[in-house]
Amino acid sequence: MSRTLARHASAEFVGTALLVAAVVGSGTAAARLSPGDVGLQLLENAIATAFALGALILMFGPVSGAHFNPVVSAVDWWLGRRADTGLTGSDLAAYTAAQVTGAIAGSVLANLMFDLPAVAWSQTDRTGGNLWLAEIVATAGLVVLVFALARSGRTATAPAAVGAYIGAAYWFTSSTSFANPAVTIGRAFTDTFAGIAPTSVPGFVVAQLVGGLVAVAALAAWYPRAQRAADSVVMPHLAQETEAR
């Protein structure tokens, strides 16, 4: 692995870890601060997650693009492969590994911060066609948003736009919008408000991958030259020549 790719992957690892720590940690805090009021707990969880995501995109966007999501990275690679933009195959492998391991680390970190066992498999079953449909919708919408911002030259708004979308999707999807395979896997490691049972993970991940395919089809129809902006997803990261100095 080159030094540049190592920097990108480390940013994806830490960024995804902090994102999951925010999701799990705020969910745990909400459950403790607002016992008996699930609606308020979800609101607190959604707001904290939206703000944390925006801040993390600002922090790590200039380093790795701040994908934090294997579906976003995979679509970036797929669209950019013929135009020689976006991630390469080796980049995609490194990003995905960093995102998944980072998500697990973030869940462990949140557990420890709240004086819980480092790993406690979630007992919260999340399964059913309605939830899988919600994940398709949430993931497709997220990916289209990200590439629409890049293609139209509005990546400066990505922290606010992506954070707002995820915060809203907590409420307009029945699954509370995981929309991210790495985050889904990480959330299986905590038996708290934000957890998902390991047996429910495959269904969510498959739905999220389908959402990515739907997004590719939508982008082909609405943004036929989206591949030209693949280097700017989610936010433009520093040129390799600049980083090597």
**What is the spatial distance between Cα 17 and Cα 52, in angstroms, rounded to a whole number?**
12
What CATH number is given to the structural domain containing 199? 1.20.1080.10
**Overall average pLDDT of the 196-203 stretch:** 98
The reply to whether 237 falls in a domain is no
Residue 109 lies in a domain: yes
Q: Domain for residue 236, yes or no?
A: no
**What is the mean predicted confidence (pLDDT) over 125-150?**
97
Residue range 1-19: mean pLDDT, rounded = 95
82 has pLDDT over 90:
no
**Integer angstrom CA distances of residue 170 from 77, 154, 209, 226:** 27, 24, 19, 27
Mean pLDDT of the chain: 94
Structural domain that includes position 30: 3-225
Residue 158 and residue 179: Cα distance in Å, rounded?
16
Confidence grade of residue 96 (pLDDT, cut at 50, 70, 90) = very high
pLDDT digits 0-9 by tens, 201-231: 999 999 999 999 999 999 999 998 888 888 8
With respect to residue 78, please indicate whether it lies within any of the assigned structural domains.
yes
Mean pLDDT of 116-137: 98
- Domain membership of residue 28 (yes or no) is yes
Query: DSSP label at 123?
Result: -
Entry pTM: 0.94
**What is the model's pLDDT at position 238?**
65
Q: Compute CA 230 distance to the chain's CA centroid, rounded to the nearest angstrom.
A: 17
Three-class DSSP category at 193: coil
| 141 pLDDT more than 90 | yes
Residue 45 has pLDDT above 50, yes or no: yes
Q: 83-87, 100-104, 218-222: which range is least confident on average?
A: 83-87
Task: Give the CA-trace dihedral at 90, 55, 30, 193, to 10 degrees.
Answer: -10
- Within a domain: 235: no
Scan for tokens 């409420």, then name that residue.
171
Residue 240 has what pLDDT? 45
Number of domains in the chain: 1
Instruction: Tell me which residue of 172, 171, 177 sits closest to 69, measured CA to CA.
Output: 177
What is the average per-residue pLDDT within 79-93? 89
More confident residue, 36 or 241: 36
